Amino acid sequence: MEETSAVHKVDRLGLVLAAVGAAAAAFLPFIYVKANRIAAGKPMPIARLFDQPSVIALVVLLVVAGAAAILVQKAEIRLAIGSLCLVALMVAIGITASTFTPPNSTAARMSPGGAFWVLFAVIGLIISDALVKIRLAAWQRIAALLAYTVLLGGCLASGLLDDLSILKEFSIRGSQFWTEALAHLRLAFGSLAIAALIGLPLGILCFWLPKVRAVALQALSIIQTIPSLALFGLLMVPLGSLAADFPLAAWLGIHGIGAAPALIALVLYALLPIVANTVVGLDGVDPAVRDAATGMGLTRRQILTDIELPLALPVILTGIRIVLVQTIGLVAVAALVGGGGFGVFIFQGLGQTAMDLVLLGAVPTVFFAFSSAVILDAVIDTLRGASA
């Protein structure tokens, strides 16, 4: 009986995460010391860094975090230890990068290795699992996101991470980074807004007319099967011809390359989740509610605007959440057709075999997608709670 009880106390997810983290720390490099941005670099595993107090402290905290993930059931304790490990990981990588950077060197690059990224992911999952088990309210989830964002911002503002290669790339391309960030957000939110303006009325029409629903959803499903690069390419030829034949189109900014094909493709990809979720949300409204509204003398338009849409709003927002996360990622691909955004750094880095430049585009893309998902999830849960 005691053995069975002990087995039940072991957190299987925590056991897997601890095993993955231990394997990464033991066998993968923690940092690469590179003479320049395109050099392969010298791998430095954690085992060779025990002369640094910050690394020793990190390893001790990782052992404690692994034990807590496996054996500790109280989510608050796991959250606290995971957060301390996250801070220790940032401090350790920052100090290690500074230690190996030659004085007054502008060419040397210190890149986080596989062990850092795996440990970062493992610690993030431990923290996320603890937050889920605590069952935070919607506003508390947003507050937690803000707290960890402030923590990351504090590490960046303190200069602790300045010797990391990704920050070196940022220092060189600071003004371009913010320009591309604005371009990325404009394309993502602009295409979402246009898709919502088209998709919501189309979804309502599909709900009212089943024959239109079958045709529209089938057509939008076909668009979803077209690879993004192929769709960008297909749009370049007609838009280029339109700009050449009609000067007004060119004056409006419509060209074969640039934001126009990117925006149109992103809108087309965004339509299916919005239309489908609008139909599902309206279908999910209790028929008895509609009957009661009809009995009260409400018109079809009044039933739609005052009853059906408010009740279907959480489901519709779920579709918009899917679209926003998808679009933030697809905007990176749009850089290939001149759409701008963080994809500019990703593809420049791939072309130059400079992975740190790739990370300069990939990391903020992931951050924006994750933050958008957390915020919209909180909004959806709030609406569901209000309508319950």
Nearest alpha carbon to residue 116 among 105, 128, 107, 124:
124
The answer to which of 99-103, 251-255, 381-385 has the lowest mean pLDDT is 251-255
pLDDT at 260: 84
Is-contact 379 138, C-beta < 8 A?
yes
pLDDT in tens, 223-241: 988 888 888 888 877 777 7
| 8 has a pLDDT exceeding 70 | no
- CB within 8 A of 277, min separation 6: which ones? 203, 315, 316, 318, 319, 320, 322
Chain segment 11-45, per-residue pLDDT in tens: 888 899 999 999 999 999 999 998 887 777 899 99
* 116 has a pLDDT exceeding 90: yes
pLDDT of residue 320: 93
Cα-based torsion angle of the residue sequence 138, 139, 145, 151 in order, rounded to the nearest 10 degrees: -150
How confident is residue 387, by pLDDT bands cut at 50, 70 and 90?
Answer: low
Report whether pLDDT(2) > 70: no
Indicate the average pLDDT of the chain: 88
What backbone phi and psi angles, to 5 degrees, belong to 342?
-65, -20
10 pLDDT band, cuts 50/70/90, is confident
pLDDT at 108: 85
pLDDT band at 388 (very low <50, low <70, confident <90, very high): low
Rounded mean pLDDT of 306-327?
Answer: 92
Sequence-distant (6+) residues with CB within 8 A of 346 are 332, 335, 357, 358, 361, 362, 365
Q: Which of 252-266, 280-294, 321-335, 358-372 has the lowest mean pLDDT?
A: 252-266
Residues 270-289 have pLDDT tens digits of: 999 999 999 999 999 888 88
Q: What is the 3-state secondary structure (H, E, C) of 206-252?
A: HHHCHHHHHHHHHHHHHHHHCCHHHHHHHHHHHHHHHHHHCHHHHHC
Q: How many residues does the chain have?
A: 388
Is 323 or 339 the better-scoring residue by pLDDT?
323
pLDDT at position 1 is 43
Nearest to 271 by CA among 329, 223, 311, 335: 223
Percent of the chain with pLDDT over 70: 95
pLDDT of residue 94: 93
Residue 205 has pLDDT above 90, yes or no: yes
Higher pLDDT, 133 or 235: 133
